Amino acid sequence: MTTSVAFDTERWSSDELDAINARFRNAPSEELLAWAADTFGQQLVLTCSFGGASGMVLLDMVARLGRGTPIVFLDTGLLFPETYATAEQAAHRYNITVEYQRPALSLIEQDAQYGPKLHDRDPDRCCGIRKVKPLADALAPYDAWISGIRRDQSSTRAATDLVQWNAKHQVLKISPLAYWSERDVWRYIHAQHVPYNPLLDQGYPSIGCAPCTSQAAGENTRAGRWAGKGKVECGIHL
């Protein structure tokens, strides 16, 4: 059994975080994940959208590591059927339990309180209710959070490092694929036969809630989200 080491990450200096980033900068992502599992034990969590390819790579790596790291899926109630099917397929493939984290308000309750189609009228508020707050609730019990974001996905993610302190959620945010390219991700998926959302083969470079996701083949990996809204992030990584 792995025993986690107690760290007060708020007290880590920038030099200490820099040292961790330097240590794993050229190491396989699996080594960073093993370090995280050794360090945090069951206080480490992976969030997976079952929409993006990067998250599926990390899910595969975490499952292969075999430490029983908790897996959280933010179920907004507005996802594509293919996304739910991918979550079920992965749970069966890896013999893991996926925790579905849902908003406090059902869609009916949200419509009653804010009016119908909030996602169209005020996407930031809708994301706040259905994604940002549920993520905060999901991360509250944990000390470290594994995320699949990459530097090449958008300008808002270009400064992502392997390990960063996330003051918003009071956790150490670990992004093992920060320096991977889209090509790296797909090379791993094909080599390891990793299951992934079939919509990625149908012109969707990024998959979120169905009403706010459109096809945008050939564009950057955040294209197709909130088209015409001047928005590329739901807020969970800001």
Catalytic machinery residues: 234
Alpha-carbon gap, residue 141 to 42, rounded angstroms = 10
Residue-wise DSSP of 48-111: --SSSHHHHHHHHHHHHHTS---EEEE--S-B-HHHHHHHHHHHHHHT-PEEEE--SS-HHHHH
Quote the DSSP letter at residue 10: G
204-215 core/surface letters (b: 16 or more CB in 10 A; e: else): bbbbbbbebbee
Alpha-carbon gap, residue 189 to 125, rounded angstroms = 34
User: Is the distance from CB of 24 to CB of 35 less than 8 angstroms?
Assistant: yes
Residue-wise DSSP of 141-206: T-SEEE----GGG-GGGTT--SEEEETTTTEEEE-TTTT--HHHHHHHHHHHT----GGGGTT-SS
Handedness of CA 154, 158, 161, 162 (dihedral sign): positive
Alpha-carbon gap, residue 203 to 206, rounded angstroms = 9
